[in-house]
Amino acid sequence: MQAENNRTYGAANIQVLEGLEAIRKRPGMYIGSTGITGLHHLVWEIVDNAVDEALAGECTEISVTVEKDNSITVVDNGRGIPVGIHPQKGIPAIELVFMTLHAGGKFGGENSGYTVSGGLHGVGASVVNALSDALEVQVYQDGKIYEQRYAKGVKLCDLTVIGDTDKRGTYVHFKPDGTIFETTEYDFKTLSERLRETAFLTKGLKITLTDLRGKEPKTVEYCYDGGIKEFVAFINEGKDPVGDKIFYCEESSNGVLVEVAFQYTDEYSETLLSFVNNINTIDGGTHVAGFRSALTRGINDYVKKNELLKNGKLTGEDVREGLTAVLSVKIREPQFEGQTKGKLGSTEARTAVDTVVYKHLEYFLEENPQVAKAIVDKAILAQKARESAKKARDFVRRKSVLESSRMPGKLADCTEKDPALCEIFLVEGDSAGGSAKSARTYKTQAVLPLKGKILNVEKSRLDKVLSNDEIAAMIAAFGAGIGDDFDISKLRYHKIIIMTDADVDGKHIRTLLLTLFYRFMPEVITGGYLYIAQPPLYKVTKGKQDYYAYSDAGLKELLDKIGRDGIKPIQRYKGLGEMDADQLWETTMDPEKRVLLQVTIEDAVKANKICSRLMGDRVDPRKDFILDYAKRAKLDI
């Protein structure tokens, strides 16, 4: 019998959101989230508009200020947003920019105000306006100061001349709407790192960041005349370079401006950062393909010409071992794949980058024979390691096939076959593994106990990584391969959960696992599949009620809340194996109650530097890090 439904659905049910209402209704569609990332995105939108002026050769300085109330002021010395009346709309152009989606000076191709631009969709200024309690814009143009003010996307006054000036540029001051964002507290470090990256990518542009929230103003200034060449040197701080020179070239080809800098280090991993019109293309694209093709071909041609390799050729994997490279292209109207601008699809970029890099690489290798020999020697060693790794990888594959009926090692697999519904817990030791296996939901939860501390992969080539039994077991269980062979579509679990003890050893094992994923399976992290479980450190029993605390600070807060009278002796868990199955399920594994931390990469440069610094061969950088941060460390023991 069909239930009675008196609700009707007709034309009157169709809503039309006027002006900027759509942004306030669904902010995540425009800035990704209403959390801390989305909050900072507002700053990037305004700063990127100023950077576009710099890319056009019209701006030399940008200042960003975090005011005492966490509002933001961005000032540039560019041409200033146009204030004239728009011929079609009949209102000042600046009002269109801040009040209308998809309105800007970057759509007109040859007739636009910009040769190249990062902000292509014309949503930046209007989104910031819509999501701000208050926004004030001033334009310094033609000797006049023009001003207009808004609130929550609504215009408060017409564009007005408020004075005279000999300056030029744009001033934007906005205060994020606290009813939209989960927090309105800006993080100085996040701002400074992004602005430093922007300065590296825009040679000669001076960017100043000032924070007025403390007792004393805090200011940093970034300006790099060496551009991305200095960027490579910055990334490689604390590493041992191969050769004493950084490769650098800049040249236009077929309307594409190509700028590349790279240097090799004695490490085994590759760090390649690619940008299109200052947009970080985290998923690469045609420009990256062109660079890799030119690099491989150029080094092989040098090897062949100088008879440095008796048999075979070097592969792309061989010549990229230990490479740190920054690739930046400027292109009119780039074509991106998808909505996030993460991957470039413009075919002309591949040809341009390939042509420019190959030509300049040939010169570089001939003019720097000692550096060239060091690069080639490293690539030849990588070739030998790759051949050893291939044998180890084939062994892992054969072992996986032979053991497919029972899966690798001590894996207790789940019965569900849909990866989207499956999760696997990586736990330390058989004791914790036993508790987890008893506690789990058999249908969707798998458990893989790991014996001891896995290999530190930061100090190892792939062949050594593959020979480690615990890592081989994980590779087989995940089913997606490793390194260049990794295929995310074959991943058997869409939640990989690191569940180690809440002590120092557990945190060390967690760090080793994070390094493995970051260096050899980064797609697990970027795809949002890696998590960290939060097991309790203490159990507190008062009467018949059990409580759990996850740190010393949490224990103190709990005791202050429930009172200390009538409490049984507090139990401190030395490991997950000390919990019975019910406790482990209730505190750490139950999807309805547990707390999981999702692992993300917010800053690729920062992540790479920290990984190298803490997990690499050099002791001094690690010692310096400990001395720098020891006083701020939060101890759980």
pLDDT one-digit tens code per residue, 242-264: 988 999 999 999 999 999 999 99
Catalytic residue among 211, 317, 501, 586: 501
Mean pLDDT (whole number) for 130-143: 95
Cα–Cα distance between 331 and 116 in angstroms, integer? 6
Name residue 375's amino acid. Answer: I
Residue 547 belongs to a domain = no
Catalytic residue among 505, 546, 603, 617: 505
pLDDT digits (tens, 9 = 90+) for 360-374: 999 999 999 999 999
Residue 623 belongs to a domain = yes
Residues 99, 115 within the same domain:
yes
Residues 218, 287 within the same domain:
no
Q: Which of the listed residues 189, 222, 255 is the one where a domain comes to its end?
A: 222
* Whole-number pLDDT of residue 109: 46
Q: Is 428 a catalytic residue?
A: yes
Q: How many CA atoms lie within 13 A of 176 on its CB side?
A: 25
Tell me which range, 403-412, 422-431, 547-556, is most confidently predicted by mean pLDDT.
422-431
Report long-range pairs for 398-404 (Cβ below 8 Å, ≥24 apart).
Answer: 399/472, 399/476, 400/475, 400/476, 400/479, 403/476
Quick check: helix, strand or coil at residue 119? coil
* Whole-number pLDDT of residue 89: 81
Residue 358 belongs to a domain = yes
Sign of CA dihedral 350, 354, 357, 359: negative
Q: Is 546 a catalytic residue?
A: no
Alpha helix segments (H runs only) across 412-503 = 429-439, 462-466, 469-478
Examine the pLDDT at 106 and tell me if it is beyond 50. Answer: no
Residues 309, 355 within the same domain:
yes
Residue 12 belongs to a domain = no
Whether 355 and 298 have beta carbons less than 8 Å apart is answered as no
Whether 510 and 532 have beta carbons less than 8 Å apart is answered as yes
% of the chain residues with pLDDT over 90: 56
Q: How far is CA 274 from CA 330, 338, 525, 601, in A?
A: 11, 17, 19, 16
Residues 332, 459 within the same domain:
no
Q: Which of the listed residues 191, 222, 253 is the one where a domain comes to its end?
A: 222
pLDDT band of residue 147 (cuts 50, 70, 90) is very high
Q: Is 505 a catalytic residue?
A: yes
Residue 10 belongs to a domain = no
Quick check: helix, strand or coil at residue 223? coil
Residues 57, 176 within the same domain:
yes
Cα–Cα distance between 592 and 577 in angstroms, integer? 22
Beta-sheet strand order (sheet of 241-253): 241-253, 256-265, 323-330, 271-276, 279-280
Examine the pLDDT at 213 and tell me if it is beyond 50. Answer: yes
Residues 138, 238 within the same domain:
no
Catalytic residue among 503, 523, 552, 636: 503
Residues 120, 266 within the same domain:
no
What is the number of domains present in the chain?
4
Maximum distance among all Cα pairs of the chain, rounded to whole angstroms: 85
Quick check: helix, strand or coil at residue 594? coil
Examine the pLDDT at 16 and tell me if it is beyond 50. Answer: no
pLDDT band of residue 388 (cuts 50, 70, 90) is confident
User: What's the CATH code of the domain at 407?
Assistant: 3.40.50.670
Q: Which of the listed residues 172, 193, 222 is the one where a domain comes to its end?
A: 222
Whether 52 and 119 have beta carbons less than 8 Å apart is answered as yes
Residues 250, 357 within the same domain:
yes
User: What's the CATH code of the domain at 299?
Assistant: 3.30.230.10
Residues 148, 232 within the same domain:
no
Residues 328, 257 within the same domain:
yes
DSSP 502-570: SSHHHHHHHHHHHHHHHHH-HHHHHTT-EEEE---SEEEEETTEEEEESSHHHHHHHHHHH-STTBPPP
User: What's the CATH code of the domain at 79?
Assistant: 3.30.565.10
Give this prediction's pTM: 0.73
pLDDT band of residue 635 (cuts 50, 70, 90) is very low
For 56-70, 198-212, 505-519, 595-609, which range has the lowest pLDDT when averaged over its residues? 595-609
For 207-221, 358-372, 377-391, which range has the lowest pLDDT when averaged over its residues? 377-391
Cα–Cα distance between 451 and 347 in angstroms, integer? 48
pLDDT band of residue 608 (cuts 50, 70, 90) is confident
Cα–Cα distance between 266 and 243 in angstroms, integer? 10
Mean pLDDT (whole number) for 180-196: 94
Q: Is 503 a catalytic residue?
A: yes
pLDDT digits (tens, 9 = 90+) for 114-126: 556 554 434 578 9
Examine the pLDDT at 95 and tell me if it is beyond 50. Answer: yes
- Give the domain extent around 170: 21-222
Q: How many CA atoms lie within 13 A of 131 on its CB side?
A: 35
Whole-number mean pLDDT of the chain? 86
Examine the pLDDT at 386 and tell me if it is beyond 90. Answer: no
Residue 579 belongs to a domain = yes
Cα–Cα distance between 311 and 309 in angstroms, integer? 6
Report long-range pairs for 103-109 (Cβ below 8 Å, ≥24 apart).
Answer: 106/52, 109/332, 109/333
Residue 13 belongs to a domain = no
* Whole-number pLDDT of residue 28: 80
Mean pLDDT (whole number) for 64-69: 97
Cα–Cα distance between 173 and 144 in angstroms, integer? 18
Catalytic residue among 52, 428, 458, 470: 428
Residues 79, 124 within the same domain:
yes
Residue 233 belongs to a domain = yes
Residues 237, 291 within the same domain:
yes
